[in-house]
Chain A
Amino acid sequence: MSSFGLLAAIWPLTTLGHYVSWHVIQISVANLIVIILMVVTFIVALFAPFPGRRRRKENP
């Protein structure tokens, strides 16, 4: 079995998609994961220290 075949056996892509339903909102799990990742990345980008920032503050 090729590596792609093995991957497809572990993670089948031909099955029906999974959806999350909440009242009028219906979203695929894949899209929901992407949105959650974007929110997490946004929060991390706000608070993560930027390389060189402290050095620049010390030596203006």
Chain B
Amino acid sequence: MSTTEIDRQWTTRLRKRVAGKLPPEKLLPDTQPTYVSSWIYVFGVTTMAALGVVIASGCLLALRGPQWWHTSSVGHFVNSLHLWSVEIFFFAMVIHLWGKYFMAAWRGGRALTWMTGVVTFLTSIATAFTGYVSQSNFDSQWISTQAKDGINSTGAGAFWNVLNSGQMLMWHIVLLPIAAVALTALHVLLVRIKGVVPPFEKTTEVTQ
């Protein structure tokens, strides 16, 4: 195979493009700019750490099932771990959102980074909601019957039935987590490609 033919392969072109946009030293950098030394930058990584615990505890719940998480003490513990890691996830994510909003983090060609964060936030809300209706207890029955009117008023109830516990469980443990994790990965890769947004320049006052 000639060099020209190799260069025209889609695998070669894709590899060169990825390596050009995200070389290893940019993907896993040794240092960060000085302005990143602030507590406000910690909440993004806290959100991801909490997401890790959410996924791990969710996998344990999926392994053992509702009988286990409703009746055994270890099941109760893992169920609580799942709930409280979600609480920390949203707590940290909202502070991260506020921080980035006031920094206008979409500056310098970072609009896609900002938008993937927004869509991840919305996806996470849907994931949490389907979790509330998947608990398989009276609480989930109450929430789903209250929510159905709201969902039906939007027209989405035709294909997204909150009273269908099987459908809600599948959305909660398959579709939405895949979307949330994939969007988070894309968000982090975009941060790596574009770098962390720098602070605003200090404005100098001009005396008349």
Residues of A near any B CB (own CB < 8 A): 34, 37-38, 41-42, 44-46, 48, 50, 52-53, 56-57, 60
Contact size class for B?
A: 10 to 19
Specify which chain B residues have a CB less than 8 angstroms from the CB of A38 in the assembled complex.
91, 94-95
Specify which chain B residues have a CB less than 8 angstroms from the CB of A45 in the assembled complex.
38-40, 42-43, 95, 99
Q: List 13 A-B contacts (CB under 8 A).
A: A34-B87, A38-B91, A38-B95, A42-B95, A45-B40, A45-B42, A45-B99, A46-B38, A46-B39, A52-B37, A53-B37, A57-B34, A60-B34
A-B contacts besides A53-B38, A60-B34, 16 pairs, CB < 8 Å:
A34-B87, A34-B91, A37-B91, A38-B91, A41-B95, A42-B40, A42-B95, A42-B98, A45-B38, A45-B40, A45-B43, A45-B95, A45-B99, A50-B38, A53-B37, A57-B34
Contact A56 B37 (CB under 8 A): yes
Residues of B near any A CB (own CB < 8 A): 34, 37-40, 42-43, 87, 91, 94-95, 98-99
Closest CB of chain A to B1's CB: distance in Å?
Answer: 51
Q: How many A-B residue pairs have CB under 8 A?
A: 35
Given contacts A50-B38, A50-B39, contact A42 B99 (CB under 8 A): yes
Instruction: Kindly report which residue of chain B lies nearest to residue A52, judged by CB atoms.
Output: B37
Contact B99 A56 (CB under 8 A): no
Which of these, A46, A53, A57, A60, contacts B40 with CB under 8 Å? A46
Given the complex of chains A and B, what is the CA–CA distance between A42 and B91 in angstroms?
A: 10
Given the complex of chains A and B, what is the CA–CA distance between A57 and B34 in angstroms?
A: 8
Closest CB of chain A to B39's CB: distance in Å?
Answer: 4
Given the complex of chains A and B, what is the CA–CA distance between A60 and B39 in angstroms?
A: 20
